[in-house]
A and B are shown apart, each in its own frame.
Chain A
Amino acid sequence: MSQYNEAKQHSQNYIEQVCEQVRWKKAHPIVQEELLAHIEDQAEAYREEGYEADDAEYLAVEQMGDPILAGSQFDKVYRPRVEWNVLLLAGSIILLGTVLRLTLQIASGVPVDWGTEIIKIFAALPFLVLGYSLDYTALLSGKTSKIFVFIVVILTILLKDIVQIAGNNLVNYTIPLWVLLFIMTVYAMRGKETTGFLLAFAEIIAMLLIFAVLYKTTIPGILVWLGSTFIITLYALKKNWFRCSKKLGFLFAVCPIILSGFVIGHPHRIDRIKYMLNPGVDSFGYGYVPSQISEIMKNASFLGSGGVNLAYLTEHLPNMHTDYILTTALSYWGWLSILVILLSYGIFFTLCFMACKKVKSQMGRFVIVAITSCWVLQFVSYLIINFTTLQMSTYPLLFVQGGYMRMINLFLLGIVMSVYKTGAVQKDAEPKTKTSVDSFYSERNLAQIRKSDQQIKEGRVIVKTMDELEALE
């Protein structure tokens, strides 16, 4: 038997020599698996030809050829991948978007501090690197994931108190991070039956209540939370992650959305619907901004300045350079500029979703879908206040404005890039679950199958049913 162990060691040495040539460590598991499977297949063929087990093993390894040569072939092919489309488009949106935003500012006579703006962009870059090097797999299990949860919770609690000092509700900014935490829950629950689903569902409701009631998060924040978790839940149900009835699952997924109507629908917010439908009702109070937006939209032209120019905006529209950048662009450059902007973001979101196809890990796809949903919903909230009479507070314009939110969004971009990086080699870990398939291939059954194979080969027994197989034991 020890000769056989030596032979096994020989195989192991071969595989190690191959892996030494493969510089990217993340690819080692997949290379080892492929080579090992191949050696075993070859050894089995030799055993069938009549060779002894250890000889078969040695021969199989010799058959593989030069390990250094093989290793360098693997090294050429298994490289971390950068999804340049997505990265470059994001970069262009950040740079061009910032330039356009600042151009509008200058055109309306507001001085621009280019130095500060450039520093703000550079200050966000380390977060991109952090997300990329952290690698989404670290979030799924182990120490790093626990540290991440801890940081997000502390950050949220801290920002809650700072909210009283600053004008904006900064807790909104942490919501995309909570979406990542939600994914971690979904990942932990995979393969579990209805319990897992109910836990995820409970998390959605619990956080909804905490955000809406305790933290008084604004509507866009709730939109991002509910929207992203809804999309993730649907995706998980579709991929049978939860293994519960799909109709039931869909019903549960819709509940938080209905609940949110009660939670966020208090008089102040319902009034907003009133002003949305008829701004004239209170044109100097809450109806003021909606009626301005309405006015701007009516007078805008396709190309160039419409009936309403920048001077008018400066006088009548508050926060035009932070909250109403797109409305300002519309007044200055016309609808064509808005089309170009919508197209750029649209292509970016589409590229993100489409690059999912190259990603083997189901979990990786989840992460991409979740993060892209967060981005889409942030962008949509900005579109709503810029082009409709429904006014509320909003996320900053995605990537282009808002230093702190940009840091968080670039961190998320880093995570997305890390998913693409390992796309072809990262496999999902098998969930620890008892299903009929898994129990069929339990160790006991495997041993029985091998034994009956052997006996059949020796021409001794013909087994027709599982019962007869068990009777052999």
Chain B
Amino acid sequence: MAIDKSLQTGSTTMLLLKLLEDGDLYGYQMIERLEERSNNVFALKAGTLYPLLHNMEEQGLVVSYEQMAETGRKHKYYSLTKKGRDLLAAKEQEWQVFSGAVNKVLQGGSAIVTI
């Protein structure tokens, strides 16, 4: 089902940082991987991805470099900086707290007994 945009935009940065945690990627790879890992729920468009990456680079969360692939094509890879890693950890924790609280409320609080 289509997810409300306002729910998505805030967490996209965190998701991209997470994708880069395991290794450097270039733009197209990030979109593919995001689709895979989210079971096609997150279908990020290139027009959203690249401005976002540029912003993240301005903020010092990632750095970019160009590399020649085996096919002879040049790709612009992105790499997490220390600042990026720290922000990722913080955002992950924030998300745990937030989503945990939302889940609790949606479960109705039937487990809580008041005397």
Contacts and interface: CB of A to CB of B under 8 A. Distances in A.
B48 A70 contact: yes
Interface string B62-84: 00000010111111100000000
A41 interface: yes
Interface string A76-95: 11100000000000000000
**Chain A's interface: helix, strand, loop or mixed, by majority?**
helix
B57 A424 contact: yes
B81 to A, nearest CB: 12
Interface in B48-64: 48, 50-51, 54-55, 57-58
Contacts of A65: 45-48
Contact of A64 (B46, B58, B72, B74): B46
Interface in A420-457: 424, 441, 446, 449-450, 453
A53 interface: no
A77 B46 contact: no
B74 A37 contact: yes
Contacts of A449: 70-72
Given A73-B51, A424-B54, A40 B73 contact: yes
B68 A450 contact: no
Contacts of B68: 441
Nearest to B48: A73
Interface in A30-54: 31, 33-35, 37-38, 40-42, 45
A284 B77 CA distance: 69
Contacts of B27: 34, 37-38, 41
B47 A70 contact: yes
A42 B51 contact: no
A74 interface: yes
Instruction: Tell me the interface secondary structure of chain B in the complex.
Output: helix
A45 B46 CA distance: 15
Contacts of B48: 65, 70, 73
Nearest to B28: A41
Contacts of A67: 47
A453 B71 contact: yes
Nearest to B63: A360
A445 B74 CA distance: 15
A64 B47 contact: yes
A65 B71 CA distance: 27
A34 B72 contact: no
A424 B50 contact: no
B37 to A, nearest CB: 17
Contact of B47 (A18, A441, A446, A450): A18
Given A441-B68, A449-B70, A449-B71, A35 B46 contact: yes
A42 B49 CA distance: 14
A462 interface: no
B78 to A, nearest CB: 12
Nearest to A71: B47
Contacts of A41: 26-28
Contacts of B57: 424
A342 interface: no
A441 B72 contact: yes
A468 interface: no
Nearest to A357: B60
A69 interface: yes
Contact of B55 (A45, A77, A441): A77
Interface string A5-40: 000000000000010000000000001011101101
Contacts of B72: 441, 446, 449-450
A440 B47 CA distance: 34
A453 B27 CA distance: 23
Contact of A34 (B58, B70, B73, B76): B76
Nearest to B68: A441
B46 to A, nearest CB: 5
A90 to B, nearest CB: 23
Interface centre among B47, B54, B73, B76 (most CB of A within 10 A): B47
B54 A70 contact: no
Interface in B62-115: 68, 70-76
Interface of A: 18, 31, 33-35, 37-38, 40-42, 45, 63-67, 69-71, 73-74, 76-78, 358, 424, 441, 446, 449-450, 453
Closest 7 A-B residue pairs measured CB to CB? A70-B47, A41-B28, A65-B45, A77-B51, A446-B72, A73-B51, A38-B46
Interface of B: 26-28, 32, 45-48, 50-51, 54-55, 57-58, 68, 70-76
Given A38-B28, A453-B71, 10 more contacts: A34-B27, A35-B50, A37-B26, A37-B75, A38-B46, A41-B27, A63-B46, A77-B54, A78-B51, A449-B71
14 contacts: A18-B47, A34-B50, A37-B26, A37-B76, A38-B50, A41-B27, A64-B47, A65-B46, A65-B47, A66-B47, A69-B47, A70-B47, A70-B48, A73-B51
